[in-house]
Amino acid sequence: MRPRTPRLPATPEPSNVIRDAEGKRALFSRIEPEPVRGAITVACSRCQEITSLSPLQAMRALLPSLYVPLLRRDYPSLMRCPACHQLGWSRLSLHV
Ligand SMILES: [Zn+2]
């Protein structure tokens, strides 16, 4: 008596396709929840607050600003802090 394992001829191909699609989706969803791509964080030396800005908000915050990497290595940008609204030295970092 041989075991009856019903073979469905159509299964191998579709299941491969589905697994591949889910693998790609999982990869993307792992990247997405973190800070928005292109977001800029401002670390303020006055209030020690770290503020996350969209590129547009960062452009506005940076408009009257000064970048002096030689004088201030830790906080090279003189700008108005989005958290405490004081003009002070900040460090910017871009999330790519
Ligand atoms: Zn501040």
Are the CB atoms for 40 and 53 separated by under 8 Å? yes
pLDDT at 14: 55
Strands (E), the chain: 40-44, 50-53, 66-67, 77-80, 87-94
The residue ranges of every structural domain in the chain are 40-94
pLDDT at 75: 93
Q: Tell me the CA–centroid distance for residue 46 and ligand 1, in Å.
A: 5
Q: Per-residue pLDDT for 46 more than 90?
A: yes
Whether the pTM exceeds 0.75: the reply is no
Between 11 and 52, the higher pLDDT residue: 52
Q: Tell me the CA–centroid distance for residue 4 and ligand 1, in Å.
A: 72
Q: Tell me the CA–centroid distance for residue 22 and ligand 1, in Å.
A: 43
Q: Tell me the CA–centroid distance for residue 93 and ligand 1, in Å.
A: 15
Are the CB atoms for 81 and 49 separated by under 8 Å? yes
Q: Tell me the CA–centroid distance for residue 52 and ligand 1, in Å.
A: 12
Q: Give the whole-angstrom CA distance, residue 76 versus residue 48.
A: 14
